[in-house]
Structure 1
Amino acid sequence: MDRVILGKTGLEVNKNGFGALPVQRVEKKDAVYLLQKAFYGGINYFDTARGYTDSEEKMGAAFEYTRDRIVISTKTMAGDAEKFWSDLHESLRLLKTDYIDIYQFHNPAFCPKPGDGTGLYEAALEAKKQGKIRHIGITNHRIAVAREAIESGLYETLQFPFSYLAAEADLKIVEACREAGMGFIAMKALSGGLIHNSACAYAYMNQPQFDHVAPIWGIQRESELDEFLSYQECPPVLDGKMKAEMDADREQLSGDFCRGCGYCMPCPAGIEINNCARISLLLRRAPQAGWLSEEWQEKMKKIEGCLNCGQCRSRCPYGLDTPKLLVKNYEDYKTFLK
C-alpha cells in the first residue's frame, strides 16, 4: 500500500484519502457503512469540513471507537476568532473527539497571519497549545493565496486542487510544498467529476515525482469506494492507453471551464451555477438522459432570470466570467433538446 508523509506534520497516510463532502448526500446509516468499510479496507485519512452540513456528524458516528487509528482533518470558514472557536467546538462535538489532527482555514480569500486583525491565526495557535488541534493547515483554490501560505512558513499542510489536468502554475505549487516540507493534500483529484477514469487519476498521482502528494477522493457510493480500495492492492500503471486518454481529456478540458467548486453560490436568482455553468462538459462526459430531464430543463431555464449582479464572478476563485459561461452553456444546452 502506498504511503505519504504529510510534510513536517510527520503524519503518515495512505495514498487513498477519503473526501467526506459527498457523504452529506446519503443517509446516515449508509454514510457510516461507507466510512467504516473504508477504514477496515485500509484507508486511514478522512477529510471533512464544518461547512459540509452533517458530514462531521456522520464521521463521528463512524469512528467514535476507532478515533486513535485514523487521521482526521476538518475546516472552518470563520472570519474572526469568535467564529473560529465556535466552529472548532462544534466540530469536536460532532466528530466525538477531543482533538483534530489537521485544522484548516477553509478557502479564505486571504492568507491568515498573526497581526492581520482577524485573530484567526492567533486562535489556531492557542487551540494547538490547548491540544484541541495538532496541526494548522489551509485550503485554497487561488494560486496567489496558496503561494503566500507556502512562503509564510506558518502552515503545515496545504489542500489545493490537483489532478492530471493541472496547469504549470499548479505543478509549481505542488513542488514548492515539497521544498518547504509542507504536506500537500490534493483535492478535486477527479476535477469535480469531469475525470471519469479513476484508474488514470490514481496512476497519475502515484508517479514518483508526486510521492509527497496525498489525494482525497470524494466518495459517495460503495462502487466508487471499491475502485479505490482495489488500487491499494493492485495499483494501476500509467501505460500508453492511459496517457492517450489523459491527453484527450487535457485537450477537451483546457482553458476556462467551471470546476464545480460551488464558491460562487448561493445565487440570488436561484441558479445552480456550479453545474449550470459546466453543463456542456457534463453532457459530453456523462450519460445525457439525467441532464436532459424536465427537472434539469427547469434549472437551466433559470439562467434567463440572471440578474447580472456579478456576485458569482467576484466569488469565483478561478477568476471566471461566470455569467458569460452560464449564457454560453445555456445556448449549447438548448441544442441537445432539439
Structure 2
Amino acid sequence: MARRDASDLATRLGRQAEAVCKRYLGAGRRQGNYWQVGDVRNTPGKSMFVRLKDTAKGPAGKWTDAATGEHGDLLDVIRESLGLIDFADVAEEARMFLSMPPDPEPQPQPKQHARTPAPSGSAEAARRLVAMCQPIGGTLVEAYLRGRGITALHGCGNLGFHPRCYYRPDEHGPTETWPAVTDLSDRITGAHRTWLAPDGSDKAPIDIQRKAMGDLLGHAVRFGLSGDVLAAGEGIESVLSAREFMPGMPAAAALSAAHLAAIQFHDALRRLYVVRDNDRAGDGARNTLTERANAVGIEAIALSPMLGDFNEDLRTYGRDALMAHIRVQLAPQDVARFMLLAA
C-alpha cells in the first residue's frame, strides 16, 4: 500500500478516534479529550493517551505512551492490539472497521500470517512471536548476558529480543509486558521466553520468569553449525558460559533436564559433551543421554561444574579458573581443536 493510502486510512480512523478506542482499546476509558489505557496492546493502566479530537498539539488519533516513549497512530493501535504482523492485514482490518470497499488492487500472493489468532502456546504462536523479535546485539539481552560474564555471543542467531513481550501470571491475572529474550529450535517449532528487568540488570521481578511455548521436546537452542562434536546442556547461560572457552564448538541448550535427556542427535555427531547441572535432575539427564548416545555409537563425555552450573562457576571463580576446570575434562584432540589458548 502506498504511503498516502496508509496516511488516508489513519486520517479516516482519526475522525472516529473514540469508536476505534472503544473497539481496540476496550481496557481503557475516556478522560476529557483523551482515551487513557495502559499501552497500545490494550493492557489495563493509565500511561498511554490517545488524542480524540484535533488540537493545536496534533490530529485526532495520535497517541503517546508516557511510560515508554512509544507513539503512533490508530493503525498502530489496530496492529498491536490484534497482534497482526503484515501491514496488509492491518489495512484490511481498518477498512472493515470503516466499512470501506476492499483495495481495488489486492496482492495476488497468499498472506503469510492469518489474522485469526494462533492457538495459545502452539508452534504457530511461537513462530509469530519469533517473527516480531530482533537480533540481540545492542539490546537488553546483550547487556544481561554480559552482566552474567558471557561475552562470546557469536553464533547466537537463535536468540532474539522482544522489547514488550506479553506476560500473564495466570489465566485470571492481568496481562503485563516486559522485555524478553526468546530462543527457538532449528526449525522454529517452539520458543522459550525469559523476561528481563527493564534495564537488563537481571531477570524481571515476576513469579515465573521463564515460559515455553510450542514443541520443544527433542529440539534445542543451537549455537553454531552442527558437526561431529557437540556440547549440549540444560540452560542457555550455562551452555554459553562453557562455550566462552570453546568458541568453535557447536553447542545446544535444551532448556530443561528432561528436554536434555531427549535431545535429538545429528547424523554426523560422533562425540557429545554433556554440560550437566550439578543436581539430581542433571545426573539423571547425563545418565540417560550417555546411554542413548552410546547405543548409537556416539562417545559421551560429561562436563561437570564446580558449583551448581557453569555460569555460577564463571561468576564465582572467574574466567581463568573455569577455563582450567573445563580443559582437563575435554578429550585432548578437542583441546587443540576448540579450546582458546591460555592468555
Higher relative contact order (CA 8 A, sep 6+): 1
* TM-score range normalised by the length of the shorter chain: under 0.3
Q: Which has the larger radius of gyration?
A: 2
